Each structure stands twice: as C-alpha cells, then as structure tokens.
C-alpha cells in the first residue's frame, strides 16, 4: 500500500529531520511508529501526505509516486487524523464527518444518500452518532478525536494515517479506539499510527517501527521489537518489558507490559 524508500527531509537551514528512512506496509497491517518527541514521527506523516516536499528518496502509494498524485486522488487512497483539529467554524459533529466525503463528490454537488450512509456508519462505529448535532468546538478533546476518526472512516480509503489517535482520550475510549484500529486492520485496511505508549502497540499493532534521531532504529513485530533493551535505548531511560497474564470472564489473556524505572 505504501512504500518509503531512502527518504530525506529537513526544514530550511536545519539538519535533516529524516535521514534515509525506508519501510513499507500493506493492507491488513497495523504499523505503530514509536519514538521520542522531535524524532520525526509527525514530519514523516506530513511527507507521506505531501504536505512536506522531501529532499531525497521516493514515496509510493498503491504503486504510484506520491509526489505526482493530485490531492483528490490522494484523498481517495489515504485519510489522515491529526493530533488536533484546526476547525474554526461552528460545524456540527455530523457536518464534520461529512467533510470526509468531499473527495468522492463532484465540485458543487450536494450531499448524496451514499454520503449520508457512509457518514452515519462511521459515526455508529465510533459510537458518536448520539452527538451528531453537537457543535464540534463544544465537544471535549476526546469526543473531538472520536469525531475526527469517524471523518477518516467516512472517507472510505484503504489506508488510515493516525497521529496519536488516543491522545486526550480517557482509558475506556483509548481501548475502544485500539479495538477499532485492530478490527480495521483485520478487515483489510492499512493502518499507520503513532503512539507515546509502547504498550498500545501490543494491543493494536501487527508491526512496530522505531524512529530515533530521524533514522529507522528497529522494524518488526511488537514481540520482537519492543524489548527492554530497545525501549531503554530509544527513550534514554531504563524500561523493563514483562510478560503479563490476566483471567477474565471470557477467558485468559496474555500480553506484555512496559515498566519504566522511577528511581
């Protein structure tokens, strides 16, 4: 779905933020990008969206050179959920989700029945249909994030790029979003997300990409890549990754947990 080859990017008159970054991921994969602040995670996403022009390397989306894609074509291939929304007008949550349908509409066309069905299905999946008529700017931070993810689903692309999708959400909504991400990957979507919580990768990701100082530090399955040694080196503090087992009414569940040193 997306292939990144030897990408280099730097802001004007500064050292490269991304240096020779290469990776790819396919439909049915959920790839979680981990790394400390300032290591280039959001910059990488903006390069994938062609919001930044790379100085070296290539990015391919569905086999096509990303730099050559018209915005409308790109919007039918990938959708993006930012960390925060820049919406300033008093749109309702329903109107906000309908914005995800713009790439499928002809210029000047009114909202179609198909658009309404797609928007309603996306809001139901995120359990936000009940707030359809609420003003977006009056929602809590967590509710706004849920609406933005619903907008991305309404866009009906094969690839979702999510920049810290659980930011500002309470614990229950974090788990709900991670469940949605995992299910979307199982349904055949290509998911690319960032997180500051390595534990989330065990719950929702099939692969992990670690970025450190603008280069790919490690790439592989969560079980292989999220280790005590890798996390300690990535974040510059002692972290221990332990096996955990819990017994629920539905059965036994095994996972891993990351324990940072507090001393």
Please state, in angstroms and as integers, the Cα–Cα distance from residue 118 to each residue in 3, 102, 122, 123, 191, following that order: 28, 12, 6, 9, 19
Q: Name every residue whose Cβ is closer than 8 Å to that of residue 28 and which is 6 or more positions away in sequence.
A: 185, 186, 188, 189, 190, 206
Sorting pLDDT into bands at 50, 70 and 90, what band is 34?
very high
Domain ranges for the chain, please list them.
1-77+157-237, 87-156
Distance CA 190, CA 24 (A): 11
**Is residue 96 scored above 90 in pLDDT?**
yes
**Is residue 225 scored above 90 in pLDDT?**
yes
pLDDT over 70, % of the chain: 98
Sorting pLDDT into bands at 50, 70 and 90, what band is 162?
very high
Average pLDDT on 114-143 reads 92
Q: What is the mean pLDDT of the chain?
A: 92
Largest distance between two CA atoms of the chain? 61
**Is residue 209 scored above 90 in pLDDT?**
yes
The whole-number pLDDT of residue 180 equals 87
The three-state secondary structure class of 167 is: coil
Between 138 and 208, name the one with better pLDDT.
Answer: 208
Distance CA 69, CA 55 (A): 17
Average pLDDT on 183-209 reads 94
Query: Are the C-beta atoms of residues 36 and 234 closer than 8 Å to each other?
Result: yes
Q: What is the pLDDT of residues 53-67, one digit of tens each?
A: 999 999 999 999 998
Q: What's the predicted TM-score (pTM) here? A: 0.90
Sorting pLDDT into bands at 50, 70 and 90, what band is 170?
confident
Please state, in angstroms and as integers, the Cα–Cα distance from residue 126 to each residue in 137, 168, 222, following that order: 18, 16, 25
Average pLDDT on 101-116 reads 87
**Is residue 89 scored above 80 in pLDDT?**
no
Q: What is the CATH number of domain 1-77+157-237?
A: 3.40.50.300
Average pLDDT on 144-152 reads 90
Sorting pLDDT into bands at 50, 70 and 90, what band is 86?
low
| Beta strands in the chain, from DSSP E residues, in sequence order | 2-9, 18-25, 30-34, 56-61, 64-65, 78-81, 159-162, 190-194, 207-212, 215-220, 239-248, 251-260
In this structure, what are the phi and psi dihedrals at residue 119, rounded to the nearest 5 degrees?
-65, -45
**Is residue 244 scored above 70 in pLDDT?**
yes
**Is residue 246 scored above 70 in pLDDT?**
yes
Sorting pLDDT into bands at 50, 70 and 90, what band is 6?
very high
pLDDT over 90, % of the chain: 73
Average pLDDT on 106-126 reads 90
Distance CA 11, CA 18 (A): 10
**Rounded to 5°, angle at Cα 130 from 129 and 132:** 60
Instruction: Find, among 245, 45, 254, 25, the residue nearest to 161 by Cα.
Output: 45
């Amino acid at each position: 779905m997306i292939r990144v080859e030897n990408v280099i990017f730097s802001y004007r008159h500064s050292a490269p933020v991304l240096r020779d970054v290469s990776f790819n991921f396919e439909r049915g994969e959920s790839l979680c990008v981990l790394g400390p602040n300032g290591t280039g995670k959001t910059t990488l996403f903006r390069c994938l969206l062609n919001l930044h022009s790379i100085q070296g390397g290539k990015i391919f989306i569905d086999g096509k050179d990303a730099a050559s894609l018209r915005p409308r074509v790109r919007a039918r291939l990938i959708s993006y959920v930012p960390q925060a929304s820049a919406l300033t007008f008093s749109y309702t949550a329903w109107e906000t989700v309908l914005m995800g349908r713009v790439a499928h509409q002809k210029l000047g066309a009114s909202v179609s029945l198909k658009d309404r069905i797609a928007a309603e299905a996306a809001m139901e999946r995120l359990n936000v249909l009940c707030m359809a008529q609420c003003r977006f700017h009056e929602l809590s931070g967590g509710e706004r994030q849920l609406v933005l993810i619903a907008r991305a689903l309404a866009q009906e692309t094969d690839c979702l790029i999510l920049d810290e999708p659980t930011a500002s959400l309470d614990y229950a909504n974090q788990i709900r979003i991670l469940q949605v991400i995992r299910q979307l990957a199982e349904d055949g979507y290509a998911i690319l997300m960032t997180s500051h919580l390595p534990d989330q990768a065990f719950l929702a990701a099939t692969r992990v990409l670690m970025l450190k100082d603008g280069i790919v530090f490690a790439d592989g399955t969560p079980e292989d890549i999220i280790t005590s040694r890798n996390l300690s080196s990535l974040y510059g503090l002692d972290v221990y990754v332990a096996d955990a087992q819990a017994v629920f009414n539905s059965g036994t569940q095994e996972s891993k947990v990351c324990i940072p040193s507090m001393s």
